[in-house]
Amino acid sequence: MKPGTFSPRSFFLLAALLVFCNRLLLPFGLQYSLLLTPLWVYFLVREGGLRWLLLCILPFAVWNLYHLLHVVSPLANILSFVLLCSTLAFAWSVYYQLKKRDDWHTLFRFLAGLNVFLLLVSLAVYPFESLRPYCWYLIDFTPNHRPIPRLKVFELEASHYSMAIAPLFLYFLWSILRQFNWRDVFLLISLGLSLLLSFSFGVLACLVVTFLMLFVSRITKIYRSRKLKWFFISGTILGLLICLGLVVLFPENALYFRLQNVLSGVDTSGRGRTYEAFILAHKILTQQHAELWGIGLGQLKLVGRSIIIQYYHYTAMPAVVRLPNCTAEFLCYYGFVGFAARLAVQLFCFFRFQVYRNLFRMSLFIFIFIYQFTGSFIFNPAEYIIWGMAFLPSFSKLDFKSFTCYQVPEGRDKD
């Protein structure tokens, strides 16, 4: 650990709070990552990173000045812009903090171990109907069918929880491949079980696609290492056998049931988080004649409410309407120009920080790049953390070149 960082104990506790309990006991959708904005700003001032935060905010500020002249509610626009600034302050502070640390393996083991404890607690409270909603997401995603409980621990939704632990799953997956360790195997299995119990098809599908894309895009690197080669081949075969076994032996299992609903188009959660979100965003932009520059922050619930209600034929008027897809939401707020700029920045950072040289960082980039088209929201702190880790010049022990040797001596992997 380098100077200027929090102590290991305080940083680990803060990481646990933000990963697992960011909304715990907070009303009105508040998050600790936003309430602690003064701490993030203080840290950036102390570390000399405030100018980078201001440079990041500048284009959004210019865009916002333009929107203020056209939006329906300037107050909602200003409040949302303040919320965006707080989220960016959090993102930059976390990036600076993580850049100075070298205790990655210890941190990830701590978080994965805490997840085991929370998983056991969630399973323990499941039989009690009064306590079940605190750890399980019980809202139905398929019409006319009893809802399937989905693990969410203390998050707002199951998809938020599964997205937060996905980087831990990827880290231990590659760490075990590099240096086998039974403790890490146990943590990986527990994380995999948590992901399955969340029934978040967006996260699970993105992890599978990430696995396959790495196999195709880095096939020359993979075949230089016997470990990588046999891991990818055996992993693919094992995954197919597990899926086949579930279908044959347990045709009524909840995972297969939801997959059927997704493929048949009756899964309302899957539709709303993917193509329907973009359909609605385009309808809203067209109605407001704002295809290029967007409708402005905070305006969706005002100008898009009637379109969303009519599209879904709501019988009971919802209190709040939104697009549960961060890219569709960004497209709606900033138009096609903003959408193109967002993708351009992501691709620039991919090459600028040489993400393709590191197995873990590349898997994070592929995962979050795909996931942004299937869910999340633009103020989601977990998404910013994943982007930050993907562009972080760390995790050198998981560079592709580290896998050219068949075995790594015990005790050398400390980060």
Confirm whether 30 is domain-assigned.
yes
Confirm whether 409 is domain-assigned.
no
Identity of residue 8: P
Show pLDDT as tens, one digit a residue, over the chain (415 residues). 454 556 777 888 888 988 898 888 888 778 899 999 999 998 888 888 889 999 999 999 999 999 988 888 899 999 999 999 999 999 999 888 888 777 788 999 999 999 999 999 999 999 988 888 889 988 765 555 566 788 998 888 888 899 999 999 999 988 887 787 889 989 998 999 899 888 888 898 899 899 888 877 766 666 666 666 776 777 777 777 766 766 665 555 556 666 666 555 556 666 778 888 999 999 999 998 889 999 999 888 888 888 888 887 766 556 667 888 899 999 999 999 999 999 999 999 999 999 988 989 999 999 999 999 988 888 898 899 999 999 998 888 888 877 654 344 444 444 4
Confirm whether 271 is domain-assigned.
yes
| Gap between the Cα atoms of 235 and 414, Å rounded | 26
Confirm whether 178 is domain-assigned.
yes
Confirm whether 412 is domain-assigned.
no
Confirm whether 288 is domain-assigned.
yes
Quote the domain boundaries for residue 235. Answer: 8-400
Nearest 5°: phi and psi at 51?
-65, -35
Confirm whether 237 is domain-assigned.
yes
The upper half-sphere exposure of residue 121, i.e. CA atoms within 13 Å in the direction of its Cβ, equals 13
Confirm whether 415 is domain-assigned.
no
Tally of structural domains, the chain = 1
